[in-house]
Chain A
Amino acid sequence: MSDTPFKNPGFAGNTGEFDLTEDQVRGRDFVPSRPLEGGHPSGTASYPYMLPEKHPDAPLFEGAYQERFEKLLTRYPDRRAALLPTLALAQEVRGHVSPETMDEVGKLLELPDAYVRGVATFYTMYNKAPVGRYLVQVCTNISCNLCGADEVLAAFLRATDTEMGETSADGNFTIVEAECLAACGFPTCVQINSRYYENVTPRDVPGLLERLREKGE
């Protein structure tokens, strides 16, 4: 049931010779979504697909998320090791990791505030400030760059009328440059929230943004 309206973007290797659906390639027929409470403890750290609605004031944690947080703790010999997955959980519910969120996570794990801030700011995937509903990360590293990634990045900025890192007026899009996403054979690779769009050309950009506006991911 692929409804990719383009020849290319949407999934790796869709060169027209590919007779699989998008869901089959992405494995969404196998894992439609990960359960909010994390499923088996072994996979608790892996994300369910990012929640569409973020609540910057959501509690850390309650309900399914509390359950998931507790399962996480069972997988490591100390609480510190749960720090990265816990920050990711916090970002999942709140949309970004503010300094206050870092401190709260520190309390949960009994780690000093300064330590947690030092760790959280080391990693690029924690958004330190709010981003648009869609965080568009365009790989401009070498393999994609050789195939025109700079033009793809420019096309996204043009189509959303933003500067790099800025959120569009309608709150939908934040465009940033990304380092290699490990999909170099399918240039240009663009990560939008949790999903990779491969083989993206400047021509595809307006349609891709339209698809996101209308149908979500």
Chain B
Amino acid sequence: MAYPYVSDREVRILSKHFGDPAARTLEGALANGRYEALKKALEMDRGAVIEEVKTSGLRGRGGAGFPTGVKWSFMPKDSGKPHYLCCNADESEPGTFKDREIIRWDPHQLIEGCLIASYAIGAEHCYIYCRGEFFEASSILAKAVEDAYQAGYVGKDILGSGVNVDITVHIGAGAYICGEETGLMNSLEGRRGQPRVKPPFPAAAGLFGMPTTVNNVETLAAVPHIVEHGGEWYRQWGTEKSPGTKLFCVSGHVNRPGNYELPLGFPLKDLIHDVCGGIRDGNALKAVIPGGSSVPILSAEESEECALCYEGVIAAGSMLGCASVIVMDETTDMVKQVRRMAYFYQHESCGQCTPCREGSAWVTKILRRIEDGRGKEEDLETLVEVTTQMTGTTICVLSDSVAAPVQSSIEKFRDEYLALIRRGERVGAA
């Protein structure tokens, strides 16, 4: 088999052609049925396209899980202004590696999604903001867009419909914060990628001050399938509140890490022990981060009953985020890993808000001190206090992302912190 990471429990819709190099070419994409949904959409009323996506219940795959059809319906109808669509391909949340796979294996699926979404929201220009590190993926995407232009799927008067949509592949330059939607818009405008105070919301005044929608790569890639088969069809998978399939990026201490497309609501336990072949070296599970490094850590017990849908992970005490499942076995040095995550946020803080700029630096410093065996017991209270002040007080939620791993680890792995503080002992160290 070409793509190594497959399981018979998968439902492969977005990932169906992963591992097939022919799917990148326009001929291959057409043979796979790409651009059929576009034709269908162009014959529909814009409002009807939005309704279909609303019916499907598709929720944003970039982390927040906001219903996509509802987001699109916030765009003004007759503003007389240019509208924009931004496709968020900044993929930099630690643990997440799905958008790059979509882009490099099936770029036309994404392009078709961008076209349909642009049509639905009345945008004549779509920018695909790829993180700067994606040289290979963005080259593949740029070539695919070029092919689609030449064949008349993109540009002026698409397929003779009178609809115009341009697509531009835009490249970032290395800054996690440009994944935040208003940071992304600032970056696209040639500014520092600092998030904006909301309101105004992007649908009112976004890119270049115009009505804008920002959607994640995976969200947009799901759109053609929904338009082609109907919103109800999409609901055959997943739960009432989390319909459809989702790419789960599994990394860390499992035997078969990788991307697996599964119906939402899939048991976390089965993902780890069945789909991913269990924990490496037959070790015991220690903890799981179910949604990328910005969400609370689940203990092994909490992960036991967790269902991987938006509401299921909240019930278990964390968040689904972008479904980036980071698995940690018993050898994991929790303090070190939490410090590494805090360091990341300190490094990536854009510096606008005091709690985030100062707090992330202090938290990292204190954690480093504990890690080095120079911590004090009061440090744990200080960490909780500082991170509490960092929650809900800033322009964007990067600041809150520091609190999630720090607070959850102190709550669930307090003994490990204390052991280090009291005896300078650490788990997993050689």
Question: Which A residues fall within an 8 A CB radius of B?
Answer: 13, 15, 17-20, 24-31, 34, 39-43, 45-50, 75-78, 80-85, 87-88, 109, 111, 118-119, 122-126, 140-143, 145-147, 179-187, 191, 194-196
Contact = CB atoms under 8 A, between A and B. Distances in A.
B344 A179 contact: yes
B250 interface: yes
Interface in B125-149: 130-143, 145-146, 149
A141 B193 contact: no
A83 B190 contact: yes
A143 B344 contact: no
Contacts of A88: 132, 171, 173
B242 interface: no
A126 B131 CA distance: 13
- 5 A-B pairs closest in CB distance: A43-B142, A83-B190, A125-B174, A123-B173, A143-B251
Contacts of A26: 136
B130 to A, nearest CB: 8
Given A43-B169, A194-B135, A30 B326 contact: no
Contacts of B55: none
Contacts of B324: 184
Contact of B190 (A43, A81, A124): A81
A84 B142 contact: no
B406 to A, nearest CB: 13
A26 B350 CA distance: 32
Q: How large is the interface on B (under 10, 10 to 19, 20 to 34, 35 or more residues)?
A: 35 or more
A179 to B, nearest CB: 6
A15 B174 CA distance: 29
B167 A42 contact: yes
Interface string B287-298: 001000100000
A47 B1 contact: no
A147 B252 contact: yes
A24 B145 CA distance: 19
A43 B4 contact: no
Contact of A185 (B97, B191, B337, B350): B97
Interface stretch (B18-26, B39-47, B221-229): B18-26
B278 to A, nearest CB: 16
A128 B134 CA distance: 20
B149 A182 contact: no
B138 A46 contact: yes
Contact of B139 (A46, A81, A141): A46
Contacts of B273: none
Contacts of B154: 42
Given A123-B173, A142-B344, 17 more contacts: A19-B1, A19-B2, A31-B140, A42-B168, A42-B169, A43-B169, A81-B190, A84-B171, A87-B173, A126-B173, A142-B95, A179-B92, A182-B133, A184-B324, A184-B326, A185-B97, A195-B135
Contact of A146 (B24, B167, B328): B328
A208 to B, nearest CB: 17
B188 interface: yes
B139 A47 contact: yes
Given A42-B166, A124-B174, A194-B135, A179 B100 contact: no
Chain A CB within 10 Å, residue with most, of B133, B138, B324: B133
A151 to B, nearest CB: 10
Contacts of B328: 146
Contacts of B133: 125, 181-182, 191, 196
Given A84-B171, A182-B91, A20 B192 contact: no
Interface in B175-193: 175-176, 187-193
A41 B28 CA distance: 24
Interface of B: 1-5, 19, 21, 24-25, 82, 91-97, 99-100, 104, 130-143, 145-146, 149-150, 154, 166-176, 187-193, 208, 249-253, 257-259, 289, 293, 324, 326, 328, 332, 336-337, 340-341, 344, 347-348, 350
A17 B1 contact: yes
A30 B143 contact: yes
Nearest to B338: A142
B250 A27 contact: no
A179 B176 contact: yes
Given A184-B249, A185-B97, A195-B136, A45 B149 contact: no
A143 to B, nearest CB: 4
Contacts of B134: 182
Given A46-B142, A81-B190, A84-B172, A182 B1 contact: no
Given A42-B146, A143-B94, A146-B337, A20 B21 contact: yes
A124 B192 CA distance: 12
A93 to B, nearest CB: 16
Nearest to B187: A84
A125 B93 CA distance: 17
Given A142-B95, A146-B332, A45 B168 contact: yes
A47 B142 CA distance: 9
Nearest to A50: B135
30 contacts: A17-B4, A18-B4, A26-B136, A27-B137, A30-B140, A40-B146, A42-B167, A42-B168, A43-B141, A78-B208, A82-B190, A87-B173, A111-B190, A122-B175, A123-B132, A123-B172, A124-B173, A125-B132, A141-B340, A142-B252, A142-B341, A145-B336, A146-B332, A147-B253, A179-B176, A184-B96, A184-B251, A184-B326, A185-B5, A195-B135
Nearest to B18: A13
Contacts of B253: 146-147
A179 B95 CA distance: 11
Contacts of B24: 27, 30
Contacts of A124: 173-175
Given A88-B132, A195-B135, A185 B250 contact: yes
